Amino acid sequence: MSTRTTNETITFKHPFKLSELDEVQPAGRYVVETNEELIQGLSFPVHRRLSTSIHLAGRPNSSELARVADIDPAKLAAALAIDAQAQEVVPISTHQRSTRPYKRKRGAKEIVIAGAQRWLALNATELKWTALIVGGMALATLFT
């Protein structure tokens, strides 16, 4: 079977933690590598994910320059969604007044859109299967 490897550069604006990694990773750009194999015997090309890994800097106080860790793509998508929604928190002492303007409350439409985007990031695989099932049902009703 033939395999393919795709690389994607992602950016975290805040430090993040994945369950597969021992420590909190600093904010920055990371390369994510996905290996997939071609499934034979279908009339259209379909690839199955074999592994997803992230390239990290070496651990502090060690001789390693870099390392690669296997990760779950769903957990990575969730961490990216959380990072995108996180805001920097600046502590304010009791003697200072905030100079930041008040944050506007989000409307119902913005809340629904943000929730849908988060759901799509977490459920990409399930969404593909749902689309296939719904499309198959629509095709079946077309022929009956």
* Cα gap 53→31, rounded to integer Å: 8
Strand order in the sheet with 66-70: 3-12, 28-39, 46-57, 66-70
* Cα gap 119→139, rounded to integer Å: 26
Residue 72 and residue 111 share a domain: no
Q: How many domains does the chain have?
A: 2
Residue 70 and residue 135 share a domain: no
Q: Is residue 65 part of a domain?
A: yes
Please tell me the pTM assigned to this model: 0.56
Cα dihedral 39, 45, 48, 52, rounded to 10, equals 140
Q: Tens digits of per-residue pLDDT, 66-121?
A: 889 999 999 999 999 998 887 655 555 555 555 556 566 777 788 777 777 776 66
Handedness of CA 118, 114, 55, 26 (dihedral sign): negative
Range of the domain at 40: 1-76
The token pair that represents 6 in the structure block: 């795709």
